[in-house]
């Protein structure tokens, strides 16, 4: 499907229900966001989003396991989704984006005070593997609790679950051996979440905090 050069400002979610579509061309429009539902288009092999105003790619994009060519050149992308490496891409075009660079600077570490909701959620996540625990049984019987806990995120360092408070980081991935990529891009910045500064300060990992101007 070719929708290039149409001054589109958004994509209707209904478009993402076209599960048999193998190519989608949306270049040279005015798109700012891509719907999370893009992940439903499981037969896409080529997705062209170049020359738009896209700032963030949705996590749903990483569900497109048949995608082989992704063109997001000429947008406003700084960082790629957490599961970007799950894609089996053969070609990735991402030039002319303000991608984060690997330029470490010193920063002040300020731990955020956890809410009671966050404390309770982390306790439940830590006990969730024990199916015979009282907490596990109680949560299964509470629909509201299940809905809240379904938003669980996982720390890339320790593997523990958390809810709403995290440290947003970036890791730089060399994907040149896996796929054809824009010449001027040497390392791909991929979003990473850590549960605390304790994990961030653990030696040996390749995560960098994101500096906010």
CA dihedral 186, 191, 196, 200 (to 10 degrees): -10
Residues 44 and 100 in one domain: yes
Residues 30 and 71 in one domain: yes
Residue 213 has pLDDT above 60, yes or no: no
Q: How confident is the model at residue 143 (pLDDT cuts 50, 70, 90)?
A: confident
Is 64 a member of any domain?
yes
8 A C-beta contact, residue 1 and residue 25:
yes
Is 140 a member of any domain?
yes
Residues 95 and 178 in one domain: yes
- Measured at the alpha carbon of residue 170, what is the angle toward residues 108 and 194, in degrees to the nearest 5? 70
pLDDT tens for residues 42-59?
999 999 999 999 999 999
Residues 39 and 120 in one domain: no
Residues 129 and 173 in one domain: no
Residues 34 and 123 in one domain: no
Q: Which residues contact 109 (CB under 8 A, 6 or more apart)?
A: 197, 200, 201
Residues 43 and 88 in one domain: yes
Residue 80 has pLDDT above 70, yes or no: yes
Is 111 a member of any domain?
no
Is 174 a member of any domain?
yes
Alpha carbon of 205 to those of 44, 56, 58, 69, 168: distances in Å? 34, 25, 25, 30, 14
The three-class DSSP label of residue 170 is: strand
8 A C-beta contact, residue 29 and residue 54:
no
pTM of the model: 0.85
pLDDT tens for residues 101-122?
887 666 667 777 889 989 988 9
> So what's the pLDDT on residue 98?
94
Residues 101 and 204 in one domain: yes
Flag the least confident range among 12-21, 121-130, 133-142, 147-156: 133-142
The three-class DSSP label of residue 155 is: coil
Flag the least confident range among 105-119, 122-136, 166-180, 199-213: 122-136
> So what's the pLDDT on residue 125?
85
> So what's the pLDDT on residue 170?
94
Residue 154 has pLDDT above 80, yes or no: yes
Residues 135 and 75 in one domain: no
Q: How confident is the model at residue 151 (pLDDT cuts 50, 70, 90)?
A: confident
Q: How confident is the model at residue 126 (pLDDT cuts 50, 70, 90)?
A: confident
Residue 133 has pLDDT above 70, yes or no: no
CATH code at position 18:
3.80.10.10
Of 46, 60, 57, residue with least CA distance to 2: 46
Is 199 a member of any domain?
yes
Residues 185 and 101 in one domain: yes
Instruction: Show the domain range for 179.
Output: 13-105+165-209
Residue 130 has pLDDT above 70, yes or no: no
Residues 169 and 101 in one domain: yes
Residue 28 has pLDDT above 80, yes or no: yes
Counted domains in the chain: 2
> So what's the pLDDT on residue 186?
82
Is 8 a member of any domain?
no
Distance of CA 10 to the CA centre of its chain: 20
Flag the least confident range among 23-27, 59-63, 84-88, 139-143: 139-143
Q: What is the mean pLDDT of the chain?
A: 89
Is 95 a member of any domain?
yes
Residues 50 and 145 in one domain: no
């Amino acid at each position: 499907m070719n929708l290039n050069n149409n001054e589109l400002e958004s994509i209707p979610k209904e478009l993402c229900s076209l599960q048999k579509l193998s190519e989608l061309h949306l270049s040279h429009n005015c798109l700012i966001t891509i719907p999370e539902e893009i992940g439903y288009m499981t037969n896409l092999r080529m997705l062209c989003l170049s020359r738009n105003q896209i700032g963030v790619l949705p996590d749903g994009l990483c569900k497109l396991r048949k995608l082989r060519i992704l063109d997001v050149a000429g947008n406003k992308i700084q960082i790629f989704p957490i599961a970007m490496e799950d894609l089996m891409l053969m070609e990735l075009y991402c030039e002319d984006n303000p991608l984060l660079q690997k330029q470490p600077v010193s920063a002040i570490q300020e731990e955020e005070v956890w809410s009671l909701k966050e404390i309770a959620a982390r306790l439940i996540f830590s006990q969730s593997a024990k199916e015979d625990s009282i907490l596990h049984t109680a949560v299964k019987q509470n629909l509201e609790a299940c809905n809240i806990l379904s938003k669980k995120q996982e720390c890339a360092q320790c593997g523990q679950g958390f809810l709403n408070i995290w440290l947003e980081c970036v890791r730089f991935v060399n994907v040149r051996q896996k796929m054809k990529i824009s010449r001027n891009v040497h390392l791909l910045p991929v979003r990473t979440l850590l549960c605390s500064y304790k994990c961030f300060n653990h030696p040996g990992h390749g995560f960098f905090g994101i500096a906010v101007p």
